[in-house]
């Protein structure tokens, strides 16, 4: 199963998320179906994210900051470090949602409008 981690700014739109998915699908083939989207719990109620998750018919998993901070991410964004004490919200959310022993199948990608990031992780059933 694939878990998609998302990071984004407050003013994000569904088009930002759609752009990210289009970019990923143009670059690679996923090794399985998307099980869920995941993000920082304080961002999970964002209307654009809620709309995007509903349109994709996938579960949205809110992840606590503490859980995100426990994840080791290859990307080390200075902005994410300063604001949240972690390298990448998208990568950390994907890994946290995918569970123990998960691995990134697609590292952080930034939307063309710079409003959102995504990362994909493969995990066992959760």
- The ranges assigned to domains in the chain are 2-122
Assigned fold of 2-122:
Nucleotidyltransferase; domain 5 (3.30.420)
What does pTM read for this prediction? Answer: 0.92
Give pLDDT tens digits for 11-21: 999 999 999 98
What spatial distance separates the first Cα and last Cα of the chain, rounded to whole Å?
A: 9
Q: What is the spatial distance between Cα 22 and Cα 41, in angstroms, rounded to a whole number?
A: 25
Strands 2-8 and 103-110: unpaired
Give pLDDT tens digits for 25-73: 888 877 778 999 999 999 999 999 999 999 999 999 999 999 999 999 9
């Amino acid at each position: 199963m694939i878990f998609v981690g998302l990071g984004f700014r407050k003013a994000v739109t569904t088009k930002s998320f759609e752009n990210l998915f289009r970019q990923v699908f143009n670059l690679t083939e996923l090794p399985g179906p998307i099980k869920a989207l995941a993000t920082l719990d304080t961002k999970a109620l964002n209307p654009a994210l809620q709309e995007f998750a509903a349109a994709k018919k996938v579960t949205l998993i809110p992840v606590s900051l503490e859980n995100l901070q426990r994840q080791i991410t290859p990307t080390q964004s200075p902005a994410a470090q300063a604001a949240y004490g972690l390298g990448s919200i998208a990568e950390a959310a994907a890994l946290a949602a995918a569970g123990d022993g998960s691995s990134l199948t697609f590292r952080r990608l930034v939307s063309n409008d710079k409003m959102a990031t995504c990362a994909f992780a493969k995990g066992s059933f959760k």
